[in-house]
Structure 1
Amino acid sequence: MAGATNITWHDSAITKKERREQNGHQSFILWFTGLSGSGKSTVANAVAKALFDRQIRNYVLDGDNIRFGLNKNLGFSEEDRKENIRRIGEVAKLFVDAGQVVLTAFISPFQEDRNQVRQLVEDNEFIEVYVKCPLEECEKRDPKGLYQKARKGEIRQFTGIDSPYEEPAAPELVVETNLHSVEECVDQVIAYLEERKFI
């Protein structure tokens, strides 16, 4: 894919710092990664509600929802998955610049891709949250019936079955949804953010 030419970056008249001051809080990415069915979207949305209740402006970017619009032209090949995450990273960076907290819920199976998103933003603006859940438990849950289809060969290149998931090498946070309730996972995330003065 060729890059655009004849373009010039225009600096905003309002800085990230000024937007943060107006909002009254820091801005950063909470990047939820994990297998399909691990509970990424559930936990991310519950954390978003907890932040909203504290007057912290935030928005959730969810894997399926993004594929209805921004990334509807992408499939699930390794190349398309990488492009999917690249685009999400760029959008998440805009939210951080706007002074908001952005929560992303994507399988994002490749460490390299998650690292590239981390490199888009400044230090302390990317928090990787590994939503850890054994494959067997995710298959039992199978909320969308995708594992069943993958096992039958109806879905190809499905993460955890015939496409790899690379566990985060050094995530800021690990929440284990097979061991803890959604509420406990939310408390864990909020406690982490409080301890490190993100909120």
Structure 2
Amino acid sequence: MNDERVFETDAAPDCGGRIDVTWHRSAVAAADRARLLGQEPVTVWLTGLSGAGKSTIAFELERRLIAQGRLAFVLDGDNVRHGLSRDLGFSPEDRMENIRRAAEVSKLFNDAGLLVVTAFISPYRCDRELARAVIGADRFIEIHLCTDLRVCEERDPKGLYQKVRRGAIGGFTGVSAPYEPPEAPAMRIDTARSTVEESVAEILRKLAPGLQQKRYTS
């Protein structure tokens, strides 16, 4: 028999007022996918200056989650700009669009049941609030890597700060463009004081309550 169930709880997203598109609801609820995987899907949104350790922590967190049998995926700021956002620059408007796209992908991955870890500078509060609204406040875990600019510049893993100081790069967050720190993040981690292992362990403790579900066995 054809199962024609529709789950009204999976609400249609805002389509920006367009009248030429229609939202088609799945016959499978997002909660069913979460139970199937035995995890409560969330997006861990890492924000902070370049050099704060976002990518390093994101990929180590992903590795640890996979090792625990969890399905997780990293959306890294640089990686996204190789494909999804390759047409965008670094103006405030382009940064906002970059974050909007990342948030929409995170929402889709969460709907599929995945744990998402993002690594974006995302310097503006309004952009991060946009991401929270797209993903859903109950799924959005904002973590501020609050490492001081001096430490980030000393690390300079990509050589970007050197280029900024030489005038080769303009509009660089924390130096010639603003960074607006979160006012009330779920967590603050200073990677000048915490190792990668300690930082990841702290985040895993935050995620632990949502990783206690039982998977479907049949």
Bin the TM-score by the shorter chain.
over 0.9
> Normalised by the size of structure 1, how large is the TM-score?
0.95
SS in 2 for 1:26: coil
1:130 equivalent to 2:166? Answer no
- The structural deviation recorded for 1:3 is 7.6
- Gaps in structure 1 of 5+ consecutive residues: none
Structure 1 residues 56 and 177: CA distance shift in structure 2, 3 A:
same
For residue 210 of structure 2, what is the aligned residue in structure 1?
Answer: 198
Question: Structure 2: how far apart are the matches of 1:32 and 1:3?
Answer: 31
Question: Structure 1: how far apart are the matches of 2:200 and 2:117?
Answer: 13
Question: Structure 2: how far apart are the matches of 1:193 and 1:157?
Answer: 35
For residue 12 of structure 1, what is the aligned residue in structure 2?
Answer: 26
**1:133-192 deviation per Cα after TM superposition (whole angstroms, max 9, x unaligned):** 100010010011101111111111100111000001110011110001100001111112
For residue 95 of structure 2, what is the aligned residue in structure 1?
Answer: 81
Structure 1 residues 145 and 4: CA distance shift in structure 2, 3 A:
farther
> Normalised by the size of structure 2, how large is the TM-score?
0.87
- The structural deviation recorded for 1:5 is 4.9
The equivalent position to 1:27 in structure 2, one of 14, 20, 41, is: 41
For residue 68 of structure 1, what is the aligned residue in structure 2?
Answer: 82
Q: Which moved more, 1:117-126 or 1:94-103?
A: 117-126
Aligned AA (1:29): T
- The structural deviation recorded for 1:124 is 2.3
Question: Structure 1: how far apart are the matches of 2:53 and 2:172?
Answer: 17
Equivalent residue pairs, number: 196
1:110 equivalent to 2:106? Answer no
Question: Structure 2: how far apart are the matches of 1:56 and 1:42?
Answer: 19
- The structural deviation recorded for 1:131 is 1.0
1:180 equivalent to 2:194? Answer yes
For residue 162 of structure 2, what is the aligned residue in structure 1?
Answer: 148
Question: Structure 2: how far apart are the matches of 1:123 and 1:117?
Answer: 9
Question: Structure 2: how far apart are the matches of 1:164 and 1:14?
Answer: 43
SS in 2 for 1:128: strand
- Gaps in structure 2 of 5+ consecutive residues: 1-15, 212-218
1:40 equivalent to 2:54? Answer yes
Kindly, what percent of the aligned residue pairs are identical?
Answer: 47
Q: Where has structure 1 moved over 2 Å in runs of 4 or more?
A: 2-5, 121-124
- The structural deviation recorded for 1:13 is 2.1
Question: Structure 2: how far apart are the matches of 1:122 and 1:79?
Answer: 22
Aligned AA (1:57): L
Question: Structure 2: how far apart are the matches of 1:72 and 1:169?
Answer: 30
SS in 2 for 1:163: coil
Aligned AA (2:109): F
1:161 equivalent to 2:175? Answer yes
